[in-house]
Amino acid sequence: MRKLSVWLLLIVMIVGCKNQANNTSQPKKVAIIVSTLNNPWFVFLAQTAAAKAKELGYDSRIFDSQNNTALETDHFENAIATGYKAILFNPTDANGSIVNVNKAKAAGVPVFCMDREVNSTDGATSQILSDSYSGSADVGKYFVQTMHKTGKYVELLGLVSDNNTWNRSKGFHSVVDFYPALKMVAQQSAEFDQNKAMEVTESILQAHPDINGIFCGNDAMALGAYQALVAAGKAGKVKVFGFDGAADVVQSIRDGKITATGMQFPKIMAQTAAIYADEYFKGKRDFPRKIPVSVELVTAHNVNDYIAFGKK
């Protein structure tokens, strides 16, 4: 009876070792969770992260949170339960997403934030972020210049729960507010959404038909604002400024429809996040908590130096 027990124990150990060998031979899985895929900018961010992860030898899957923190929570729980070893993350909510990041950390899964941040320095292993404040300050300087320091303007905000919304707004106002002849007649959220921006701008134009400029917290809203101006017969009479560097806006600057945008570099942020995950798997643990990625001003004067989401 004792010999039989020993043989059974040996068989269990052999099978266990075999399974372990099989598991280690499988490529690690990397989850890419983004706030929304209803915006080409985030599609580019997610696909670039996936391509870099594949190049480094990892399987990956893209999860769309649809700007919904509850859905984002489901994605995190799914990723942790099904064996994803790292998460490349574009948060939906700077505060609301903290719980998800902490949940992954507790499960031993590192999180690398891309573009958007969470208001915590403890949960994420590293956060690779656009320098939205400085980029918007540069847009603000060009706004003042092209508006000749006078006129009425509107500001379209993004998601009020996202730090980028306020960093861009604060950067813009850090310059524009020094010019008292520039009057902001309306400030309203369009949630980074093109259709919402068109609706909001149409409504604002009814109350303020004499505006001279619109500053938008992203390019999707700039396109929506421009659509509203076209419908109102005001295209070309009101200057529109965006932020992102989306393909349609880069072309619109060439066409003289949009005045300027702040060019972000999602390729740098996505690839850095994937490289950091690779380095983590190889044993590195000392990562910078936050890395700012610079933003560049794109206008009619230099637009030919740029393509969608970056420089030529």
CB burial of 240-254 (b: ≥16 within 10 Å; e: otherwise) equals: bbbbbbbebbbebbe
As a whole number of angstroms, the distance between CA 170 and CA 50 comes to: 32
Query: Residue 74 carries which side chain, given as an amino acid letter?
Result: D
Position 9 scores a pLDDT of 46
Write out the two tokens for 129. Answer: 């972020």
Collect the ranges in the chain with pLDDT lower than 70: 1-25
The whole-number pLDDT of residue 10 equals 46
Are residues 229 and 246 in contact, defined by beta-carbon separation less than 8 angstroms?
Answer: no
User: Residue 1: its pLDDT value, please?
Assistant: 46
pLDDT of residue 24: 53
Distance CA 100, CA 77 (A): 8
The pLDDT value given to residue 248:
95
254: left (phi over 0), alpha (psi -120 to 50) or beta: alpha
Q: Can you give the pTM of this predicted structure? A: 0.84
DSSP type of residue 296? E
Using an 8 Å Cβ cutoff, are 186 and 154 in contact?
yes
E-strand stretches of the chain? 29-34, 59-64, 84-89, 111-115, 126-130, 151-157, 182-189, 213-216, 239-241, 260-263, 290-293, 296-299, 306-307, 310-311
Q: Are 114 and 89 in contact (CB under 8 A)?
A: yes
